[in-house]
Structure 1
């Protein structure tokens, strides 16, 4: 697994103030709720949990105020749920007057295993500034201590660095002010008697809820950005749950307002303070701007949004045209990353062909809505792309798609060609049956992002039982390992896998993982 940072300092960006103002018109209401710490817990070995790290309840959190703490003492608070928000706690001293400051460390964790890793030993390729730790000095007590930064956590570990031999410290009233722009009161339950699927569904809802902030964030612990690939999946899941279409429109306007001067859309934008597009570009993510717009218009038609953003969607397609040769073959530039999945261990050229077809079909639908005279040209190009896929990439003997010069068979090629509906329904079903025989169990893939597409392709091929089985084996296993929300990365064959060199920076609540909710609502309800 690998992902290469892009640094494109020579790229300049547009800032369309009219579109940015429209984005701000869709700023969401943020719902805030106070959550008290529930339990005091200790770390134990538990072979059934992630990294064999579990927790044992020591006592109720209201007993915290009875503990007098001094140098090297530590306590772990369990809030009983995944929280995204700000933390506060009351602190006072006990004994003689304070003859030295209180120094203590607070460590926030989404999962118990994070608490056993020493941040000083982290040497991964992501910035260690994402590690959720704070070291604080307080000169005067008592105080209601409020941390200004937002955190993503269930567990909070407080470790005393030092007080003084003359006095101790005690804590009480630990609270989290959790926040989200999702209205939990309108979500419908899953109509099933299957307890495992209900659990998978409910954890997915929590995952999406906690990633819905001022925009659809990719992860509330780390990155906290608006990514186009995540947005596409979040928006679809949102339509099936919270139905906050205004937030989708806000995100689309942000992307549309800040294209590069050559009309490309950045793969992600920063929104924490001023709006800043990242200098990262991905072939498939740019095309997914078309997808998000089309999905929105199919779900809730909005003429104004369509009129504002269709030209930008069209620009994405026009930028892609030089990557299509006269045969109808997609040949992306190596400097214009085709993401598909983190893994670079498989050839992605056939996946890129399929994603291009997938997005073009959605562009054609949008073009019909606006009576675009380019519609005939789009249909001609679609025929060219599909014919190349059928005649050059489809192996009729194996009934599978091949990819690259070595005619590699990989799961992604089959999945995206099925999702693009290049072949008829019967052939698509046979493709996925053969994929199960030859390419299952899935290997070398560690993202729920790719697993989503695999499972959706199984559903689209009318292989419902196989789709449910894979969903239970993948998302269900995260729950078995202790997940309150779904993770950015997970390899069932290596549950302790981290793409960053240490689980301490892993995102255990991540947007592209929420999609079982969408899949179950779409294909089962």
Structure 2
């Protein structure tokens, strides 16, 4: 696990109310749809699925009222697919008069494996309050229990902790009112001959739709907020599918409206109960504000948005360039760390330099559109950064970019230098061909976020077959393990991997994993 909490109490933020007002104007409509559970299931062992746990149907959902549940009885409801929304259920009693309250536990799960775990065993570094469990006392029945929180789930486990010996609980009409800023059934999937790719596209689309709420959330189960790294990838996926540009504009304005006094934008923002920036800052995430603005302008030229947010983008670049020495070398520091990926098992300096080159190229395009008098200054910086990368970071003997004082060779360095197009097309293809031969299979990386960049680098280098195979091996493996939506973290060699100490806190629907829809649209359609 490479990401750690930052607590920056001394940081002061600005709040541009005019930009916040624009963000509010672009708040999307939320579509609601009532959906009932499909069946009653029980857990079963299945070594082909995640953590060896699957489900077996034992009854249709209309059989639910026939089950009379007493102390310690349990039933698992299956909603047939991943759902995001608010849950309700009718509850009554049978037998003698109700002489004690119903004590009920509800547990919501995106994957069957979560139901097989005991929440009491969790001892990870993230708050256990994210575990989707509720304990309810009901003094009188019948009642329609409507839970106020929004949940992200496919399965609901109902456990009667107690009634009394005289009566039993009866359940009926388990319903979720789903919430999303888009309607998934409005998208026609591209024609794909490969059934595996077709299924990967469908699951990616579902993942994106369930993460599109009042903002692009990183995960509807956890964290439920707007992270800039996720936003960049979600926006690209949105342009390939729903084309909901208003939500992209809303997210851009939220970041642009709340920079620090020194101009940096936060890595993420909260929108409830009010718009509030987090005190977390990441070097590459700050630069990706430029990417998001550039990608948006490429997809939908919008002079008003560019005029409103150009200076915010410029400030991110100026802050980043302060960490470049006279030779053109990026010198990272712990006060403004580079993310690249969760893992700290590899040196990130060269990947960080490549991200700076990648975003500086995009910024220069924006500067040209704005006729910025400082454009030549940024062009000169780009030349120095690129020359340093080619002369000092590329090892001609090994044929790889190296990183850090130990001249480490890692996948991330090659991938980001490829995406930044630091070398010509022929040399780039040669670089990624050698990366596949010598650095694959990938080790030490367990996020779809980084796997996206690896896959796109393969496509950009002209290695289409290798890119498709990686998509099928990585995202396809999640589907083989039972995924309805793509996950926040996944290591093919350790399917039960969790960065949090327990997979019960893993998000099994996460924004940065939705990008196969973009990759398929851009490179295969």
State the match for 2:322 in structure 1.
322
User: CA offset at residue 188 of structure 1?
Assistant: 2.6
Partner SS for 1:442: coil
State the match for 1:181 in structure 2.
181
State the match for 2:47 in structure 1.
47
State the match for 2:35 in structure 1.
35
State the match for 2:460 in structure 1.
460
Partner SS for 1:266: coil
Alignment of 1:356-505 (within 5 A): 356-505=356-505
Distance between the aligned counterparts of 1:155 and 1:224, measured in 2?
19
Counting matched residue pairs gives 525
State the match for 1:350 in structure 2.
350
Matched-pair contact (CA < 8 Å) for 1:108–1:156? yes
Matched-pair contact (CA < 8 Å) for 1:22–1:253? yes
Distance between the aligned counterparts of 1:524 and 1:396, measured in 2?
33
State the match for 1:129 in structure 2.
129
User: CA offset at residue 2 of structure 1?
Assistant: 2.9
Matched-pair contact (CA < 8 Å) for 2:41–2:59? yes
Matched-pair contact (CA < 8 Å) for 2:283–2:339? yes
User: CA offset at residue 132 of structure 1?
Assistant: 0.1
Runs of 4+ with deviation above 3 angstroms: none
Matched-pair contact (CA < 8 Å) for 2:184–2:206? no
Distance between the aligned counterparts of 2:4 and 2:103, measured in 1?
39
Matched-pair contact (CA < 8 Å) for 1:84–1:178? yes
User: CA offset at residue 190 of structure 1?
Assistant: 2.0
Q: Is 1:149 paired with 2:149? A: yes
Distance between the aligned counterparts of 1:504 and 1:29, measured in 2?
31
State the match for 2:339 in structure 1.
339
Distance between the aligned counterparts of 2:266 and 2:322, measured in 1?
19
State the match for 2:202 in structure 1.
202
Distance between the aligned counterparts of 1:185 and 1:343, measured in 2?
36
User: CA offset at residue 358 of structure 1?
Assistant: 0.3
Alignment of 1:235-250 (within 5 A): 235-250=235-250
Distance between the aligned counterparts of 1:379 and 1:512, measured in 2?
31
State the match for 2:515 in structure 1.
515
Q: Deviations over 1:20-46 (max 9, x none)?
A: 000001010101111110010000100
Distance between the aligned counterparts of 1:391 and 1:19, measured in 2?
43
Provide the alpha-carbon RMSD of the alignment: 0.7
State the match for 2:68 in structure 1.
68
User: CA offset at residue 245 of structure 1?
Assistant: 0.5
What TM-score does the superposition give when structure 1 sets the normalisation length?
Answer: 0.99
* Gaps in structure 1 of 5+ consecutive residues: none
Distance between the aligned counterparts of 2:433 and 2:297, measured in 1?
33
Matched-pair contact (CA < 8 Å) for 1:90–1:172? yes
State the match for 1:260 in structure 2.
260
Matched-pair contact (CA < 8 Å) for 1:186–1:241? no
Distance between the aligned counterparts of 1:335 and 1:263, measured in 2?
15
User: CA offset at residue 413 of structure 1?
Assistant: 0.1
User: CA offset at residue 58 of structure 1?
Assistant: 0.4
* Gaps in structure 2 of 5+ consecutive residues: none
Partner SS for 2:322: helix
Distance between the aligned counterparts of 1:333 and 1:188, measured in 2?
46
Distance between the aligned counterparts of 2:341 and 2:483, measured in 1?
22
What TM-score does the superposition give when structure 2 sets the normalisation length?
Answer: 0.99
Partner SS for 1:134: strand
Q: Is 1:215 paired with 2:215? A: yes
Distance between the aligned counterparts of 1:187 and 1:366, measured in 2?
31
Partner SS for 2:22: helix
Distance between the aligned counterparts of 2:276 and 2:123, measured in 1?
28
State the match for 2:105 in structure 1.
105
Distance between the aligned counterparts of 2:133 and 2:71, measured in 1?
18
Q: Deviations over 1:76-105 (max 9, x none)?
A: 000001000000000001111111000010
Distance between the aligned counterparts of 1:252 and 1:320, measured in 2?
19
User: CA offset at residue 184 of structure 1?
Assistant: 2.3
Q: Is 1:276 paired with 2:313? A: no
User: CA offset at residue 399 of structure 1?
Assistant: 1.8
Distance between the aligned counterparts of 2:39 and 2:374, measured in 1?
62
Distance between the aligned counterparts of 1:27 and 1:219, measured in 2?
18
